[in-house]
Amino acid sequence: MTDYFHRSGAPDDTHAYPPPPPYAPAPAPRAKAKRPVALIAAVAIVAAAVGGGASALVGEFAGDTGTGGTGSVATGTNVSQSSRGTVAGVAQAVSPGIVEISATSDAGRSTGSGVIITSDGEIVTNNHVISGASTVKVQLSDGKTYEADVLGTDPDKDLALIKLQDASGLKAATLGDSGKVNVGDEVVAIGSPEGLTGTVTSGIVSALDRDVTVAKDEEQQPRQDPREGWPFEFGGQQFNGDTGESTTTYKALQTDASLNPGNSGGALINMNGEVIGINSAMYSPSSATGSTAGSVGLGFAIPINTVKADLDGLRSGSGN
């Protein structure tokens, strides 16, 4: 929908008025109008309502909103004071905490992304990235590779936790607070779209609390939804929303930062260098299929508070 903004004007006043007497005091300064403040507040309220009111049918490439957190994860910010607020500063600080994941299963090999959350190699990714995998290999930003074990999965939230074998001294990403995210906040996305490791894109948070319906694992075949026009891309396949037992629905952050197949499991980051979401889905036009599908500015991420609330369950071998 296109928003139209009209510039208001006042009619010309062609009448001449005599100048005030020389001894007349100067007019008192006019008080600043308060109406625009009220208008801005009204617009903010409407934007928040719109962010939570629409429902999207989504394919698995973007969870559920939760609060709380667990220990053993990085806190604070990795961005230097001088670089804070810049895409370059965020990318430089956070890229070492983002990895490329290659998962091999009976169905073939798939590539996704992940976020390091502990120095000994715990990594958060999407469940659909590693679902059904017999082997999982991880490549760090410096090119070093590791074998990884799956600690736990939560298909309902499309989350998984893996751990590198014999890793130590890694730079973990900083987890933020998705409850403080606002529509319009600038964000950076880092991942491995189409296997292009360490790709950085940027944009804004375009909506909050989007209802997202996704397939629970990568191996499900595309299906046809009677409501056309909402297919989504994941792992090179299209998915048209379904409400059966093989799908799950969660609340997601929406962003216009470019996301493409392979970004799954990567990080959505605020300008302080804190991860606020795990990228997992993107809209794909109905005319595009497979490798012809690409970002059209509608991407989705699982809020990081959902991840933090689920970590204990994932570490124990399952989700909450």
Pick from 60, 140, 128: nearest CA to 97: 140
Q: Pick the catalytic residue: 95, 110, 113, 128?
A: 128
Among this protein's residues, is 128 annotated catalytic?
yes
Q: Which of 110, 131, 154, 158 is catalytic?
A: 158
Give Cα separations from 17 to 9, 21, 23, 213, 254 (angstroms): 21, 12, 17, 67, 56
Beta strands, E only, 126-273: 135-139, 145-154, 159-164, 174-175, 186-191, 199-215, 231-234, 237-240, 247-255, 267-270
**How many Cα atoms occupy the beta-carbon half-sphere of 92 within 13 Å?**
11
Of 213, 257, 217, nearest in space to 237 by CA = 217
Burial class from Cβ neighbours inside 10 Å (0-12, 13-18, 19+) for residue 214 reads buried
Is 110 noted as a catalytic residue in this protein? Answer: no
Q: List the one residue out of 219, 57, 196 whose CA is nearest residue 127.
A: 219
Range list of β-strands (E), the chain? 55-57, 98-105, 108-116, 122-125, 135-139, 145-154, 159-164, 174-175, 186-191, 199-215, 231-234, 237-240, 247-255, 267-270, 274-283, 299-303
Sign of the Cα torsion 64, 68, 73, 76 reads positive
Residue type, 185: D
Specify whether 158 is catalytic: yes
By CB atoms closer than 10 A (0-12, 13-18, 19+), residue 257 is buried
What 3-state class would DSSP assign to 36? helix
Selecting among 264, 280, 284, 295, the annotated active-site residue is 264
Catalytic residue annotation: 128, 158, 264
